[in-house]
Every structure is written in C-alpha cells, then in structure tokens.
Homo-oligomer: A and B are copies of this chain.
C-alpha cells in the first residue's frame, strides 16, 4: 500500500512501552450477540483498565517519550477519555498534566480527570475554545500539546490494538472501528493493511457527526456546521487533513449510523454481553444492525473502545429509568 504517516516498526516499539495494564486486552467470541446480529461476532474489549478506554495506549507513548526527554509538563484539550488517559499516564511519569475542557462537559468525566491528579482548566465555551486555550498554554509555557489523531503517537498507540488482533491469528473477516478524529481508525487500519491485508476495515461514524465520513467519500476535508450525537467520543466537526490522507489509504469503507442504532447497540451489548459501554463503543454493533445482509455469514470483530458514560444518561438511553436510588 501507499505509505501512511504511521510506521509498523514504531507501532511494535510502542507496544513495548505501554503499561501492561492497557495491553493484551480481552478478545473473545460473543455468541450471545450472534442471533441478533446474524453474523459471528468477536469483541476486543478496551474498557477493563484504569481509565476505561483505549486512549491510554496513545498517552502512554506520548508521556514515555516526554519523560525520556526530561520534559516537565504536558497539556491537552479534552472533556473525556483523552484527558483521563493523559492524566493517568502523566502522573505515573512525574509530568505535570493540564487538561482544558469546556465547562459544559459531563461533570462525572471532569471529576475523574481531577481525581487522577491533573490540573483541570475550564473554558466558557465549546471544545474548539478549549483547544485554542490548550494551544496557548502550550505555546506560552513551552510545553507539549497533545492533539488527538494529529499527533502520530496517539495513532500509533491506538494501532497497537491492531497488532494484538493480528497476533491472535485472526479468523475474522472484518474489523469494525469507531471513527471520530481518526486515531483509532487509522491506527488499526494501518496495521491491518500492513500485516493482515485480507481483513476488511470498516469505520463507523454517527450520522449526527459525519464530517470525516463526508471527507473520506469526497477525498477532501469537509467540515460541518454542527455535531449532534450522543457519541461524544467521536463528535468532531473539523477533520485533520493528514489524518484524512491516512484514512483514505487504510479504510475499506466508512459508514454512518443513526442514533437509534447506537442506542440499540448499547442495549444489545448490555443484554447479551453484560457490557456497559459508551455510545462510541457501540458503533460497530450499530453498523451491523443497519445492514445485516452485508455482514451475514461473516465474522466481525468490533472494538469496544470505552465505557466512560454518565450513569443516568446511560440508563435514559438504554431504557432503564432510575428508581428509588439511595
């Protein structure tokens, strides 16, 4: 294939610097999901770790490089999984971590970032404003700004999931990956194309936040006016050109799914796999639900990429109402 920004040897090296608690995550057939989905289904589970998402694979790579160079601090804009992951990874390596977030972000997620020892700075605006503030802090302080998907370490960290899939001697036909900024999709996609080219890579994005999908289809960056989805982990509006270039090389298809399908996917993962997942982690199941004929008779792996979800919102979505809670 043409070359992406990612490098397979570097990804293999990245796998070795990631704390074992984030590596070699469960990969297993989930037969109880199969009657409802009409195909063989395996789960790659990225939630059973201290930050409940795959993002620490990337922050482990970034922070180990920074610590190796004697850097004292690091900053990012995030109201969710990246912030928690950077806080965890930075704390373990003695880095001062600053996370900039919108004050409108979910309180529970902001609490977790603080609890992991990061300095949390809130801005009175959206994620774009948080990004600008984080960039200013980095510039003024001379410290590293971690930008998800743009920074190669975030892509290559996520790509280590692909290595583990390949090392499992894959019997699957298709990998389903959530698509937001693109770190996970280009990471896993790169490894599949390099080491298991027979495996189809399908990226899944919410219909309510379709910027990268439109960009992939038109082969040029398309931004959107708004993003409206419960899948906050993938709700971007400004695709990064370099990431789009990589995605064009590694994605076999990019599909959009409706909010109702995401919720149905979350509910199926709860009812039949016993998994509480955040909306972005249900995108793969949602894609199968929307096009069962396409996947009939195939074996798909879906990357369950995170479980950081507000409990009350979760129950509202999956149709369980809180009653008489203490």
User: Is A315 part of the contact surface with B, judged by Cβ < 8 Å?
Assistant: yes
Given A26-B25, A48-B48, A49-B26 in contact, is the A271-B311 Cβ separation under 8 Å? yes
CA distance A31 to B118 in the complex (A): 14
CA distance A116 to B274 in the complex (A): 17
A176, CB-defined interface residue at 8 Å? no
B52 touches A274 (CB 8 A): yes
Contacts of A276 in B (CB 8 A): 270, 274-276
CB-contact partner of A31 in B28, B50, B326, under 8 A = B50
Report the separation of the CA atoms of residues A24 and B20 in the bound assembly, to the nearest whole angstrom.
11
Which of B28, B30, B264, B308 lies in contact with A274, CB distance below 8 A? B308
Asked if A32 is at the interface (CB within 8 A of a chain B CB), the reply is yes
Within 8 A of B (CB), among A22-52: 24-32, 43, 45, 47-50, 52
Q: Give chain B nearest CB distance to A67 CB in angstroms.
A: 20
A260 to chain B, nearest CB (A): 10
Evaluate whether A311 and B50 lie within 8 angstroms (CB atoms) in the complex, with A32-B112, A320-B321 already known.
no
In the bound complex, CA of A245 to CA of B325 (Å): 42
Do residues A26 and B50 form an inter-chain contact, with CB atoms below 8 A?
A: no
B residues less than 8 Å from A49 (CB atoms): 26, 28
A100 in the interface, Cβ–Cβ < 8 Å?
Answer: no
A306–B322 CA distance with the chains assembled, in angstroms: 24
Q: Which residues of chain B are near A24, meaning CB under 8 Å?
A: 24
Interface residues of A in 289-326 (CB under 8 A from B): 307-309, 311, 315, 319-326
Interface flags, A95-116, vs B, CB<8A=1, else 0: 0000000000000000010011
Q: How many Å from the CB of A290 to the closest CB on chain B? A: 16
Once A270-B276, A274-B309 are accepted as A-B contacts, the answer to whether A28 and B47 lie under 8 Å apart by CB is no
Q: Which chain B residue has the least Cβ–Cβ distance from A29? A: B50
CB-CB under 8 A from A326, the residues of chain B are 264, 319
Which residue of chain B has the shortest Cβ distance to A88 in the bound complex?
A: B31
Give the complex CA separation of A319 and B320 in angstroms: 9
The answer to whether A28 touches B32 (Cβ under 8 A) is no
Show the binding face of A for B, using Cβ within 8 Å. Answer: 21, 24-32, 43, 45, 47-50, 52, 112, 115-116, 264, 270-271, 274-276, 307-309, 311, 315, 319-326
